[in-house]
């Protein structure tokens, strides 16, 4: 970055950030956090010099914090005020971004939550995903490659019509996009696309997929760096599922494919229906089978069910479709350009998800359902039957929670303590907004995501 550009960015950021003061003494802080049940990152700051020691000591945490809902309220809690658990930072999930604007370093380390004896806590979101990935690995050494395609609204541009992939809307965000992509790169991610999406002030970002747990860690970094970068410009990036009941939503589309132990793709078979290999068909069929209940985890806000209504390119039925943007599971295209490898490109897109979900819980639940599909050798309906046989998706968060509660297998995915906590947590969230109009609910959620 040239000195002139650096100074320009610095003075505009300093003017915009009320808490920014030049020339004071400072010491770098790092944030140790978890992406909790409501998909928000919570945790504690420590001096960065302390970080190296923290994996051994942990950072104190309270079990009941898992019950803090999106609106900051703790409803009925199974934990009361009792107990202590530890946040243990994982240095393989650490990012440190210097925006070079004189502002604070964005230093975030994601943590596991453990009991004092070091064993995993029953409500640790990362452990939830780890257990699902271990179940998959037991099925012949399968690994999951996943990427989260995320949409958000950037408040730094005027709300004029929709963005609609338009170059003018792309340009109007100024240097936000460049700063954001540079931050993602500094975080060690591989940004792939940044675009002006269809909706009003709506943008979308994708990065290269990652294996296993890292995919969910990266989904969190992608969100937090959009928010952090927007903050430098004095604006917000909001990933709330939908901002206007008459508009389009912000989806989180989870792209998944399977790899074998050696890292070879095992999802693609051009000779079979949907071009899915036998094991990938079973995995997909398991997800499809449980999809209405999975929505309780992947689309877990009340307004997620405003997003998932017709004519918004969001799913409304539990179906699988080839290159269909209204389908819940979209079989993505491959491109046969020179030197391309369709087996490596090929993936399945899970679309009934949004940023109210913790990526660990969303991906973990999807993998658990997929594993069941493999274990029971489930089959997909034929492409001709796919739509006719599709179950509807739930129409509200409460309906989705009831489906999850009625799913016998869910106790195995979550364990009894986490499932009970999850249902109570989400019902406390519904209680906050159930009397509000759809527009008021959108407004409340927009402040939080």
- Given the rule CB under 5 A, which residues bind Mg ion? 204
| HSE-CB of 374 using CA atoms within 13 angstroms | 20
Whose CA is closest to 118, among 146, 144, 162, 85? Answer: 85
Taking the C-alpha atoms of residue 203 and residue 237, their distance in angstroms, rounded to an integer, is 9
Mode of pairing for the β-strands spanning 29-35 and 41-47: antiparallel
Site string for ligand GLU, 144-163 (x = CB under 6 A): -------x------------
Site string for ligand GLU, 52-91 (x = CB under 6 A): ----------------------------------------
Stretch in the footprint of ligand GLU (CB under 6 A) among 177-185, 247-255, 357-365, 417-425: 247-255
321 counts as binding ligand GLU under rule CB under 6 A: no
| Residues 6 or more apart whose Cβ sits within 8 Å of residue 352 | 291, 294, 295, 298, 299, 308, 314, 315, 328, 393
Stretch in the footprint of ligand GLU (CB under 6 A) among 209-217, 248-256, 298-306, 437-445: 248-256
E strand intervals along 167-318: 191-196, 202-207, 210-211, 237-238, 252-259, 317-318
Instruction: State which residue, 314 or 410, has the beta carbon closest to ligand GLU.
Output: 314
314 counts as binding ligand GLU under rule CB under 6 A: yes
| HSE-CB of 182 using CA atoms within 13 angstroms | 14
Smallest distance, ligand GLU to C-beta of residue 322, A:
15
Smallest distance, ligand GLU to C-beta of residue 347, A:
15
444 counts as binding ligand GLU under rule CB under 6 A: no
Taking the C-alpha atoms of residue 298 and residue 60, their distance in angstroms, rounded to an integer, is 28
- Is residue 133 within 8 Å of 217, Cβ to Cβ? no
Instruction: State which residue, 14 or 195, has the beta carbon closest to Mg ion.
Output: 195
Total chain residues near ligand GLU (CB under 6 A): 10
- Is residue 328 within 8 Å of 318, Cβ to Cβ? yes
For tokens 């046989």, the residue is 389
Q: What angle do CA 66, 428, 45 make, to 5 degrees?
A: 30
List helix spans (H) across 194-341.
213-232, 278-298, 304-307
Stretch in the footprint of ligand GLU (CB under 6 A) among 58-66, 167-175, 308-316, 381-389: 308-316
Smallest distance, ligand GLU to C-beta of residue 300, A:
15
249 counts as binding ligand GLU under rule CB under 6 A: yes
Smallest distance, Mg ion to C-beta of residue 154, A:
14
Q: What angle do CA 16, 249, 283 make, to 5 degrees?
A: 120
Smallest distance, Mg ion to C-beta of residue 67, A:
32
Smallest distance, ligand GLU to C-beta of residue 317, A:
14
Cα 309 versus chain centre, distance: 20
Given Mg ion, ligand GLU, none, residue 143, with its beta carbon under 5 to 8 Å by kind, binds none
247 counts as binding ligand GLU under rule CB under 6 A: no
170 counts as binding ligand GLU under rule CB under 6 A: no
Smallest distance, ligand GLU to C-beta of residue 266, A:
26
- Is residue 201 within 8 Å of 154, Cβ to Cβ? yes
- Is residue 359 within 8 Å of 365, Cβ to Cβ? no
Smallest distance, ligand GLU to C-beta of residue 248, A:
5
356 counts as binding ligand GLU under rule CB under 6 A: no
307 counts as binding ligand GLU under rule CB under 6 A: yes
Mode of pairing for the β-strands spanning 329-331 and 320-322: parallel
30 counts as binding ligand GLU under rule CB under 6 A: no
Site string for ligand GLU, 324-343 (x = CB under 6 A): -x------------------
Binding site for ligand GLU (CB under 6 A): 151, 248-249, 251, 307, 312-314, 325, 351
């Amino acid at each position: 970055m040239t000195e002139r550009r650096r100074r320009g960015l610095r003075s505009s950021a300093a003017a915009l950030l009320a808490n920014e003061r030049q020339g004071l003494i400072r010491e770098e802080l790092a944030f140790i956090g978890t992406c909790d049940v409501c998909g928000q990152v919570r945790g504690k700051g420590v001096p960065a010099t302390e970080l190296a020691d923290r994996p051994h000591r942990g950072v104190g945490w309270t079990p009941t914090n898992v019950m803090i809902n999106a609106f900051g309220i703790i409803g009925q809690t199974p934990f009361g005020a009792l107990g202590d658990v530890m946040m243990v930072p994982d240095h393989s999930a650490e990012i440190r971004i210097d925006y070079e604007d004189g502002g604070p370093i964005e230093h975030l380390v994601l943590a596991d939550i453990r009991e004092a004896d070091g064993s995993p806590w029953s409500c640790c979101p990362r452990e939830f995903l780890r257990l699902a990935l271990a179940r998959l690995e037991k099925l012949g050494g399968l690994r999951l490659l996943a990427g989260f395609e995320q949409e958000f609204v950037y408040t730094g541009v005027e709300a004029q019509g929709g963005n609609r992939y338009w170059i003018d809307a792309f340009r109007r965000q100024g240097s936000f996009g460049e700063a954001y992509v540079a931050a993602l790169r500094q975080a060690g991610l591989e940004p792939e696309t940044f675009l002006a999406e269809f909706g009003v002030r709506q943008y979308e970002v994708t990065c290269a997929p990652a294996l296993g747990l890292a995919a969910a860690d990266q989904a969190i970094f992608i969100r937090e760096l959009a928010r952090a970068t927007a903050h430098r410009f004095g604006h917000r990036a909001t990933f709330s599922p939908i901002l206007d009941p008459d508009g389009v939503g912000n989806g989180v589309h989870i792209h998944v494919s399977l790899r074998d132990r050696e890292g070879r793709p095992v999802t693609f078979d051009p000779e079979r229906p949907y071009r899915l290999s036998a094991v990938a068909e079973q995995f997909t069929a398991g997800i499809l089978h449980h999809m209405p209940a999975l929505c309780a985890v992947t689309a877990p806000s009340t307004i997620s069910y405003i997003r998932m209504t017709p004519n918004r390119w969001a799913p409304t039925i539990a179906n699988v479709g080839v290159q269909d943007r209204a389908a819940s599971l979209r079989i993505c295209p491959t491109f046969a350009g020179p030197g391309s490898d369709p087996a490596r490109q090929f993936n399945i897109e899970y679309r009934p998800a949004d940023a109210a979900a913790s990526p660990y819980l969303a991906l973990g639940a999807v993998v658990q359902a997929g594993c069941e599909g493999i274990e029971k050798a489930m089959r997909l309906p034929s492409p001709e039957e796919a739509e006719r046989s599709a179950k509807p998706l739930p129409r509200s968060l409460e309906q989705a929670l009831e489906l999850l509660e009625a799913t016998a297998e869910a106790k195995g995915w979550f364990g009894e303590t986490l499932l009970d906590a999850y249902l109570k947590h989400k019902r406390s969230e519904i209680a906050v907004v159930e009397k509000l109009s759809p527009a008021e609910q959108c407004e409340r959620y927009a402040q939080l995501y």
